[in-house]
Chain A
Amino acid sequence: MAEPWEDDEVEGPVFKFLYVNRKAPYGTIYALESLEVVLIAAAFEQDVSLAFVDDGVYQIKKGQDTAGIGMKNFSPTYRALEGYDVEKLYVEKEALEERGLTTDDLIVPVEVVSRAEMADLMDEQDVILSF
Chain B
Amino acid sequence: MAQLHTVNKSPFERNAFVSCLEHAKEGSGILLFEDGVYAAMNGTAVADKVKAALSGRSLYVLGPDVKARGLSEDNVIDGVKVVDYEGFVDLVTEYDKVQSWL
Chains A and B are bound partners:
yes
Q: How many CB-defined contacts (below 8 Å) exist between A and B?
A: 36
The answer to whether B97 and A130 have CB atoms under 8 Å apart is no
The answer to whether B1 and A22 have CB atoms under 8 Å apart is no
Chain A proximity of B14: nearest CB distance (Å): 9
> A130 vs B92: C-alpha distance in the bound complex, in angstroms?
16
* A20-B99, A127-B97 given; A54·B3 CB < 8 A: no
Nearest B residue to A115 via CB reads: B22
The interface residues of chain A lying within 8 Å CB-to-CB of B102 are 22, 130-131
Please report which residues of chain A, range 98-131, place their CB below 8 angstroms from some CB of chain B when the two chains form the complex: 115, 118-120, 122-128, 130-131
Interface residue tally for chain A (C-beta within 8 Å): 17
User: Chain A: interface secondary structure?
Assistant: mixed
Say yes or no for B24: interface residue by CB 8 A criterion. Answer: yes
The interface residues of chain B lying within 8 Å CB-to-CB of A60 are none
Identify the 5 closest CB pairs spanning chains A and B, nearest first: A128-B99, A119-B23, A130-B100, A119-B25, A123-B25
**Between-chain CB contacts (< 8 Å), 26 pairs:** A20-B99, A22-B16, A22-B19, A22-B101, A22-B102, A54-B15, A115-B22, A115-B23, A118-B23, A119-B22, A119-B23, A119-B24, A122-B99, A123-B1, A123-B3, A123-B25, A124-B1, A125-B97, A128-B97, A128-B98, A128-B99, A130-B99, A130-B100, A130-B101, A130-B102, A131-B102
Residues of B bordering A, CB below 8 Å: 1, 3, 15-16, 19, 22-25, 28, 97-102
